[in-house]
Amino acid sequence: MACVMWFRRDLRLGDNPALLEACADGAVLPLFVLDPALWGPAGPVRRAYLARSLRALDESLGAARLSVVHGDPVRRVLLAAREVGATRVHVAADFGPHGHRRDADVEQALGDAGIELVRTGSPYAVAPGRVTSGAGEPYKVFTPFSKAWADHGWRAPVDAPTQPSWLTLDETAGIPEAAVPDGVGLPEAGEAAALRRWHEFLEDRLEGYDEARDRPGVDGTSHMSVHLKWGEIHPRTMLADLARHRGTGARTYRKELAWREFYADVLFARPATAREYLRPEFARMRYDDPADHLEAWQRGRTGFPVVDAGMRQLRATGWMHNRVRMIVASFLVKDLHVEWQHGARHFMDWLVDGDLASNQHGWQWTAGCGTDASPFFRVFNPTSQGRKFDPDGAYVRRWVPELADAADPHDPGPAARERAGYPAPVVDHAEERREALDRWEEIR
Ligand SMILES: Cc1cc2nc3c(=O)[nH]c(=O)nc-3n(C[C@H](O)[C@H](O)[C@H](O)COP(=O)(O)OP(=O)(O)OC[C@H]3O[C@@H](n4cnc5c(N)ncnc54)[C@H](O)[C@@H]3O)c2cc1C
């Protein structure tokens, strides 16, 4: 019997229950559909990474080939299934707003042709929608969610299939060429790279993670977000490894993975919050026209060193440290009074790990309008945040090289700015803080 394994955000062979189900059916067509609805908006950095990840998956199939086709999945998956005579198409379930709808449409089209869409697993340890409060409602607050999530538990990792029999389509479009934007350095892609990076992190940095993770000038985090984004590794594999480690590093890391699962759960329960305020009263707040300030923020020219360092790190690497993501997001919303959606869009254009649930809800959390959000009145002072989390200025010196020799890189005086060709602050933080709080009072 033949079947299709339709890869999407699960670009790996190991610990892939959907793939094992497929192999149990007989010969398997490994398929990837380049959906223009996703490929276009992905942004150049994510497109380049995805092309590399597909190449790595293709190589891991040995003598076989990954069949890549372009177009609307509703049509393409059906055509592919028909060509190989498949009776079942296997996937890991997608819980994002677009993927969920798309899968329902594909399921309908396949069903009309007598072919079954089989969902096994998801990109999460616990599928969104699975844990609910006592009243059967989705959780709105992280801590009780994470407790229920841990109590629910997850299955153990599974092995890669042994000696699978692969099929190929007669005609495929091939893996697209997607150039990396000038000056951007991307991490190595693929399952083997993800596992290597994970094991290096476990060995070298897990123990000190709890302290180092908040220091953007130190390489203290795992950089696993991009591998998780494309499913080059499953969080279940990581959770199983973490369970073998004691100490605060492993505990804190597990909590961070739970945040990823929480945001997926929140977005699944409220798909409109990919664009809309989770707390609707914030839609009534007065905001400024993005105008020039948005561009200064995007280019890392606001005159606030830690903000500019973060925005330049994003452009140079497709990644930004979590602490700095919070600082730059707070600055855009509360100092420049620009709606969070503008910033979230810029992040999605540039982040290699850009993930709708974590990004939109990371933004809403910082902007004070999200679930379990940091209260709006807690306005970050970018200069003291910089001093606190980058005390020796290593992060700012690295990403704002014109301030490398500044005596106080977090707050260079007018003469030091002039010498360095570094701009004066675009706003007065104390004034904008008051302004933000006034606007917030209006909607309370
Ligand atoms: C405004 C904003 C936007 C964000 N956008 C994204 C995004 O598009 N994609 C994305 O994966 N993460 C996003 N995050 C969360 C977080 O910043 C990144 O996951 C983290 O910086 C990735 O680096 P790492 O793998 O080295 O993290 P580590 O510290 O090593 O964390 C381990 C893993 O835990 C998960 N994680 C950690 N922190 C969070 C968090 N706050 N929310 C959700 N998951 C988390 C990630 O999967 C991460 O890979 C955003 C956070 C903010 C504040």
Length of the chain in terms of residues written: 444
DSSP letter (8 states) at residue 82: H
| Token pair in block for residue 188 | 């190595």
Nearest 5°: the CA angle 127, 345, 222 is 55
**Taking Cα atoms as reference points, which of 130, 182, 121 lies closest to residue 152?**
130
**Taking Cα atoms as reference points, which of 228, 161, 218, 165 lies closest to residue 193?**
228
Helix (H) or strand (E) holding 116: strand 116-119
**259 within ligand 1 shell (Cβ under 6 A):** yes
**302 within ligand 1 shell (Cβ under 6 A):** no
Contacts of 199 (CB under 8 A, 6+ apart): none
DSSP letter (8 states) at residue 403: G
**351 within ligand 1 shell (Cβ under 6 A):** yes
Q: Of all protein residues, whose CA lies closest to atom 4 belonging to ligand 1?
A: 359
State which of 199, 224, 225 you would mutate to test the pocket of ligand 1, scoring each by most atoms of that ligand within 8 A of its C-beta.
225
| Token pair in block for residue 118 | 């089989």
Please, what CATH class does the domain formed by 280-443 belong to?
Answer: mainly alpha
Distance (Å, whole) CA 143 – CA 140:
9
**Taking Cα atoms as reference points, which of 241, 242, 260 lies closest to residue 355?**
260
124-156+192-269: which CATH topology?
1.25.40
Distance (Å, whole) CA 30 – CA 153:
30
SS3 of residue 99 by DSSP: helix
pLDDT by 10-residue block (mean), the chain, 444 residues: 97 98 97 94 94 98 95 98 98 97 98 98 98 92 96 96 96 91 92 98 97 97 98 98 96 98 98 97 95 94 98 97 98 98 97 98 96 87 98 98 97 96 98 97 94
Strand arrangement, sheet containing 2-7: 67-70, 27-34, 2-7, 86-91, 116-119
Q: Of all protein residues, whose CA lies closest to atom 52 belonging to ligand 1?
A: 362
In DSSP notation, 278-319 reads SSGGGGGS-----HHHHHHHHHT-SS-HHHHHHHHHHHHHS-
| Token pair in block for residue 2 | 């033949």
**9 within ligand 1 shell (Cβ under 6 A):** no
**225 within ligand 1 shell (Cβ under 6 A):** yes
State which of 256, 321, 340, 363 you would mutate to test the pocket of ligand 1, scoring each by most atoms of that ligand within 8 A of its C-beta.
256
* CATH number of this structure's domain 2-122: 3.40.50.620
Q: How far is the CA of 388 from the centre of ligand 1 (A)?
A: 20
Q: Could you report how far apart the first and last alpha carbons of the chain are, in Å? A: 62
Q: How far is the CA of 264 from the centre of ligand 1 (A)?
A: 12
Question: What residue spans define the domains of the chain?
Answer: 2-122, 124-156+192-269, 280-443
Q: How far is the CA of 74 from the centre of ligand 1 (A)?
A: 32
SS3 of residue 33 by DSSP: strand
DSSP letter (8 states) at residue 331: I
DSSP letter (8 states) at residue 231: T
Distance (Å, whole) CA 1 – CA 88:
10
**367 within ligand 1 shell (Cβ under 6 A):** no
Whole-number pLDDT of residue 234:
98
**Taking Cα atoms as reference points, which of 202, 206, 263 lies closest to residue 229?**
263
Contacts of 184 (CB under 8 A, 6+ apart): 45, 48, 315, 316, 317, 318
Distance (Å, whole) CA 57 – CA 65:
9
Q: Of all protein residues, whose CA lies closest to atom 19 belonging to ligand 1?
A: 225
Is the four-CA dihedral 103, 107, 108, 113 of positive or negative sign? positive
